[in-house]
Structure 1
Amino acid sequence: MPGCRLADIWDNDVTEVIGMTEVLLAVGTRKGLFIGRRRGGTWEFDEGPYFNAQAVYSVAIDTRGERPRLLAGGDSAHWGPSVFHSDDLGRGWTEPARPAVKFPKDTGTSLERVWQLHPAAAEPDVVYAGTEPAALYRSEDRGETFELVRPLWEHPTRSKWVPGGGGEGLHTVVTDKRDPRAVTVAVSTAGVFRTTDGGASWSPSNSGVSAVFLPDPDPEFGQCVHKVTQDAATPDRLYLQNHWGVYRSDDAGSHWTDIGEGLPSTFGFAVAAHPHRGDTAYVFPINADADRVPADHRCRVFRTADAGKSWEPLSAGLPREDHYGTVLRDALCTDDADPAGVYFGNRNGEVFASADDGDSWQQLASHLPDVLCVRAAVVG
């Protein structure tokens, strides 16, 4: 992976640094955060990881304000989990003096990790955090302090939520640019829950999503949902990657339809939507829950351009030999460029990028630690 010394740049005004970076790529790994910057079509990576030896499970690039803010959910084996923020594209990081995310004493539990950091679509200063144990937190100061969303924590179904193989984590938050009161979350393994009153009440939203591992394969809740994303043109249209099954909802999650036909496997972890083009989404199929390698041992992203009626494999520039790099739920993303950048990282420590909606790919990094999450955004 190419290195880039930024010391000379950092001596100048931060605005100049931001102006020189066209696209920012943040790669959270088992042993730190790696940051890549595209300038003039060329990718360069900062030297060494930030948060060395910390597992970085979540990253957000918040471009809503005058200056982008980066948020990272790190997990130190010694100090525990925390949320950090940077207002200079990763030049320097701030950790609040008091924990940004903390379970109140009366809950009888403690924070294990922050699975998700999500800038709200309709509220400029609001950031949501999803955690393990499964809970939703809300910040109104761009991620510096968070408050527990009590009604979801106290949901009457909670006592029946069961941790999945990766733990009991709230790993997905989807907000609606039309209505700040509408929020959709996904929990492993409780399924999808939705509020339309700003979090005062929550309802399971899993109709049509299968739970093949349960005696009743069609429960109201208890599905092992791996990831949910929102269509760019139709906000009520959602795409869902399940523990077996790829689904679409056209009514904000009230009902789901299986759209997995045409994929080599419907098992997988990640799903991402195109940032501008409606009906377009990406998945990375995995062989099976008991065989967690790329489907048919081939490194391929699959794209639908018709809301799941058909799928096409995208592999130009990707490894052609047998491949065993699993892509986790937050390790596939798009940026907001046009044409869109598409990115994914895998558990082999490889990172790949496309600058043309997924039509062709290049490898940006190899031999990194286990890639846990990937986020990218246009910042210059």
Structure 2
Amino acid sequence: MRPLRFTILVTPIIVAAGLLGAASADAADTRWSITGPQHPGEPDRPVWSMAAFPAHPNVLIEATQERGVMRSTDGGSSWTTVADAGGSAWVVHVDADHPGVVYAGTQADGIFKSLDEGKTWTAQNQGLDTLDVRAIDTSGSTILLGTSAGLYYSNDAAHSWKSLGASDLDIAAVALLPKANGLTMFAGADNGTAPSYLLRSEDLTGAWTPVSGGFPGGVTVAAIATGLAPAGGQAPVLAGTAQGAYRSDDRGATWILVNGLPATDYNVVEFNPANSDQIYVASDGDAGSGGVFRSLDRGATWSPLGAGLPDHPRVTALALQPLSPVQVMAANWNPTSATAGVYRITDPGAAVTGATAAPSASATVRASPTPRPSTVSEPGGRRSTAGQDWEKLGIAVIVLLLIAGVVSLRRWRIRREDQRTYLR
């Protein structure tokens, strides 16, 4: 009987320990943690853009204010300036079609290119009329730049650049969407004069068409991203604007406001490059609620990812490390307190397996309008929520209380039997 009693007693203890461990692990998964400083002992400077390398997810690149282009080889624990870039950079972009190639757009020194995952850099400015490069995207042999004075492209590996017009617009975001016989190009502006700050072109002639079809006129655009096409459908396009996020599923012909998000500006939008069901957007809070929000169902429902970020977060950049589960990096900058930092979270609901990565668009920081009431909802069936963590803890506590009750009852029965034996 003793082995049986021992098994009966120990099994619930093991179950309770497992539940406590699972709750602790899930709680860690859904909380941001700060990464290493840019320069130990000195305040971090703002980060406007970040990127990770698919082949080496722990190698990260970031575009910073006053510290140029910085690189980490340990997932963000430590950073080194690898390109001074005139002191400040707007954007970094990893070329998904050419392993190891990464571009950096600077605020005053034009565009730089690296062939070795950001270790060494070379300026590539032949043909540029402005050196303020704010947005970059690549597809195949085509590179598209957004600058403070319009758009440029290269089809010779960035050795030379040709103007694509829109010189009266300050271009904050660009995206390239492949098609059977070429590319559809998107450009978003956050300053200048235009009937629409979102433009589309079907060729490299410099002919741009202002986007309408449900997209609001006069609303500035800070970010554009494209995702993988679903079976039998078109690749989704997402635009972050001063008045919410807008989505198109017909290559930009028509647009709808993304529901379920707080009414604020969105300066960063990202699809998981391996699974377009998983979308991340971020706001710097210029027009309301700042922070990071994530959808696992193609944007039908959204969840805030805020635990561990500073109060009133102002997120300026995101990067997805293609691990399994996905790790998300977020840069935060508070201009009031002049504090900055990069944070990491493991997202157990997001994975990268089972699909081929597609190029993702670049974005920088901007925009600012009138807030509307928040409509953030918690999707059903999420794996790592605070409620589920407490549920697991509650079950574990109940199991432990039952064990304590069983042990106490057993001791009482043993003492009673001993007393009876003694009296006899």
TM range (shorter): 0.5 to 0.7
Match of 1:54 among 83, 87, 94: 87
Match of 2:102 among 58, 70, 90: 70
Matched, 1:127 2:143: yes
Equivalent AA in structure 2 for residue 61 of structure 1: V
Point out the structure with the larger strand share: 1
Task: Identify the residue that residue 114 of structure 2 maps to in structure 1.
Answer: 86
| Partner Cα distance (2:330, 2:273) in 1 | 15
The structure with the largest alpha-carbon Rg is: 2
Task: Identify the residue that residue 272 of structure 1 maps to in structure 2.
Answer: 270
- The 8 Å contact of residues 70 and 86 in structure 1, kept in 2 or not, is answered as yes
| Partner Cα distance (2:300, 2:54) in 1 | 41
Alignment of 1:226-375 (within 5 A): 226-234=222-230, 235-260=234-259, 262-289=260-287, 294-295=289-290, 300-316=291-307, 318-319=308-309, 322-323=311-312, 325-328=313-316, 331-347=317-333, 348-356=339-347
Scaled by the length of structure 1, the TM-score of the pair is 0.67
Q: CA deviation at 1:90?
A: 2.4
Alignment of 1:39-188 (within 5 A): 43-48=76-81, 50-51=83-84, 54-65=87-98, 67-75=99-107, 80-96=108-124, 99-103=125-129, 111=130, 113-120=132-139, 123=140, 125-133=141-149, 135-150=150-165, 152-153=166-167, 168-176=170-178, 178-188=180-190
| Partner Cα distance (2:156, 2:91) in 1 | 18
The size of the alignment, in residue pairs, is 293
| Partner Cα distance (2:55, 2:282) in 1 | 32
Equivalent AA in structure 1 for residue 228 of structure 2: A
Q: CA deviation at 1:49?
A: 5.5
Task: Identify the residue that residue 165 of structure 1 maps to in structure 2.
Answer: none
| Partner Cα distance (1:337, 1:180) in 2 | 31
Could you list the per-position Cα deviations for residues 88-115 of structure 1 after superposition, in whole angstroms to 9, with x for gaps in the alignment?
A: 222222124xx33522xxxxxxx15101
Could you list the per-position Cα deviations for residues 53-96 of structure 1 after superposition, in whole angstroms to 9, with x for gaps in the alignment?
A: 6110121112423x411211223xxxx32211121222222124
Scaled by the length of structure 2, the TM-score of the pair is 0.61
Equivalent AA in structure 2 for residue 113 of structure 1: D
| Partner Cα distance (1:127, 1:138) in 2 | 5
Secondary structure of the corresponding residue to residue 341 of structure 1: strand
Could you list the per-position Cα deviations for residues 21-80 of structure 1 after superposition, in whole angstroms to 9, with x for gaps in the alignment?
A: 443211111111111124xxx554343453176110121112423x411211223xxxx3
Task: Identify the residue that residue 108 of structure 1 maps to in structure 2.
Answer: none
Matched, 1:201 2:207: yes
Q: In structure 2, do the counterparts of structure 1 residues 223 and 20 end up closer, same or farther at CA, with 3 Å as the change threshold?
A: closer
Equivalent AA in structure 2 for residue 132 of structure 1: S
Equivalent AA in structure 1 for residue 225 of structure 2: T
Secondary structure of the corresponding residue to residue 326 of structure 2: coil
Q: In structure 2, do the counterparts of structure 1 residues 2 and 30 end up closer, same or farther at CA, with 3 Å as the change threshold?
A: closer
| Partner Cα distance (1:227, 1:28) in 2 | 16
Q: State the identity %.
A: 23
| Partner Cα distance (2:164, 2:348) in 1 | 36
Q: CA deviation at 1:357?
A: 6.1
Q: CA RMSD in A?
A: 3.2
Task: Identify the residue that residue 10 of structure 1 maps to in structure 2.
Answer: none
Q: In structure 2, do the counterparts of structure 1 residues 315 and 350 end up closer, same or farther at CA, with 3 Å as the change threshold?
A: same
Bigger relative CO (Cα 8 Å, ≥ 6 apart): 2
